[in-house]
Structure 1
Amino acid sequence: MTESIVLNGQTFTLHCSGALFWEEKSTLIVSDIHFGKISHFRKHGAAVPQKAIQKNFTLLETIVTQFTPKNICFLGDLFHSSLNAEWILFENWVATTNAQLYLVAGNHDIISPLRYEALNIQVVSEIVTQGFLLTHHPEEREGLFNFAGHIHPAIKLKGIGKQFLKLACFFKSNNQMILPAFGEFTGTFVLQPTKENEVYAIAKEEIFKIKIES
């Protein structure tokens, strides 16, 4: 269900939900939830079940209960588009957590920062702390290890014959880790790893490191 790694002397726990917990800072890092996307799809006639909306909130609450973080940092695309009915659900969820909330704004975060500030959520363009750079879009900056989202990384595994399996993953290079999308119905983008990468794939409630052969 989890996998722990050490980066720059700090311990990070990778969760099968796609979230990352920074133990020394008691900070839960989550990327690309895209709240509101399911309601947006349903409004335009997509056959997405209503109960899928609550699933994102239930999963978020589950990992908050598990890690009890002092801080929660959203790495962008927290809300998919403009305000819709899911904003009320989000407000209700915020009211249940005691953690300090941060939003590193992403390209989909078009809702006014004033809305977030009214909920005591700090909206920033990036966070730099203890040698780590937290952004929405992946970035390379000398002397910093980057945590980012945006790409919704996945890996394609080859099975017997011509069978393939595509799994969301944490995708790590020497100075960067791209987090998988947390939200339901967000889609994925397959990345091609090399021996310089570390890939932690997610399969239902399991997370496991992939052996890179080339």
Structure 2
Amino acid sequence: MGETYFSYKDQKWCLSAQRAIYWEDEKALLIADLHCGKSAHFRREGIAVPANLVQEDLFRLQRLITQFSPSQLIIVGDMFHSTYNNDVEYFNTWRHQFPHIQVHLVNGNHDIMPTDVYVRLGIQQHDHLNIRNIHFSHDPALHAAGEAQYVMSGHVHPGVTMYGAGKQALRLPCFYFGEEYALLPAFSAFTGLYSIKPAKDEPLFVLADGEVIRMQ
């Protein structure tokens, strides 16, 4: 299935195979690690990567917005990949399709452009963001949530290594829900994966072939 509903920490989440979560009670679409501009950054350094990666990512995001009709988009860090490049202007054009949607950016380590650029793009920046009992922080290791708050984070680009017959191995992106914090998969397909090893009682959802598969 392309989506699955999951209740945790007194909230109901819709996990999408498109590497996003829809939070129905807040009409909020949650993603992490969009890394808009990363491919352009690599090309500028002379590394041959496809030129249409940001267009593909933003098209997936557009489809999610059309599907869920959120009133706000929360990006849990690394929306852009470091310094300004042409992909930022592509995002600006894309942004004009959704002027009614509030875009919240929880600053990540790559979000280093001048503040006026984010203002021009209609993006509200936050070092941390609190909504209900949920605390949004890009890096789970750096969160400053209160005891009653659950942390939603990114940064890690979580993945799980699956093993098959004949010593075959495949690493897949995942959603991880620990006792203190959750990890969202990197939204951009142009990112690496860091293998995590959750405890047996920690919910884990793997993304494969357009489906959200609960592993435990």
Q: TM-score range by the shorter chain?
A: over 0.9
TM-score normalized with structure 1 length: 0.94
The residue number in structure 2 matching 1:96 is 97
Which residue of the partner structure matches residue 33 of structure 2?
A: 32
Q: For 1:53 and 1:45, locate their aligned partners in 2 and report how far apart those are by CA, in whole Å.
A: 18
Residue 46 of structure 1: how far off its partner (Å): 2.1
Separation of aligned partners in 2, 1:180 and 1:52: 17
Question: Residue type matched to 1:107 in 2?
Answer: N
Question: Which amino acid is the alignment partner of residue 22 of structure 2?
Answer: F
| 2:174 matched residue in structure 1 | 169
Q: Which residue of 1 aligns with 2:197?
A: 192
Q: CA deviation at 1:140?
A: 6.7
Q: How does 1:196-207 map to 2 (within 5 A)?
A: 196-207=201-212
CA distance in 2, matches of 1:174, 1:12: 16
Q: Does 1:12 align with 2:17?
A: no
Q: Aligned letter for 1:177? A: A
AA in 2 matched with 1:115: V
Deviation of 1:175 (Å): 2.8
Instruction: Using the TM superposition, give the Cα deviation of residue 84 of structure 1 relative to its aligned residue in structure 2, in angstroms.
Output: 0.4
Deviation at 1:136, TM superposition (A): 0.4
Deviates more, 1:13-22 or 1:39-48: 39-48
Give the structure 1 partner of residue 71 of structure 2.
70
- Residue deviations 1:145-188 (CA, integer Å, cap 9, x gap): 11000000000011112111100001111232100000121111
Contact 2:53 / 2:190 at 8 angstroms: preserved in 1? no
Say if 2:62 is the partner of 1:61: yes
Matched AA of 1:5: F
Of residues 44-53 and 142-151 in structure 1, the stretch that sits farther from structure 2 once superposed is 44-53
Contact 2:33 2:78 in 1 (8 A): yes
Of 118, 121, 129, 1:119 maps to 121
8 Å Cα contact 2:22/2:29 also seen in 1: yes
How many Å apart are 1:52 and its aligned residue? 2.2
Query: 1 CA distance for matches of 2:109 and 2:52?
Result: 26
Give the root-mean-square deviation of aligned CA atoms. Answer: 1.3
TM-score by length of 2: 0.93
- Count of aligned pairs: 211
User: Given the superposition, is the C-alpha separation of residues 199 and 140 from structure 1 closer, same or farther in structure 2, using an over 3 Å criterion?
Assistant: farther
Give the helix-richer structure, 1 or 2: 2
1:137 aligns with 2:139: yes
Confirm or deny: 8 A CA contact 1:174 1:196 kept in the other structure.
no
C-alpha change, 1:96 and 1:172, in structure 2 (3 Å) is same
- The CA deviation at 1:120 is 2.5
Distance apart, 1:9 and its partner CA: 3.1
Provide the secondary structure at the position in 2 that maps to 1:89. Answer: helix
Gaps of 5+ in 2: none
Q: Distance in 1 between matches of 2:74 and 2:201?
A: 27
* 2:159 maps to 1:157: no
Aligned residues: percent identity? 33
The runs of 4+ residues in structure 1 deviating greater than 6 Å are none
In the alignment, residue 154 of structure 2 is paired with which amino acid? Answer: G
> How far off is 1:7 after superposition?
2.4
- C-alpha separation between the residues in 1 aligned to 2:171 and 2:159? 7
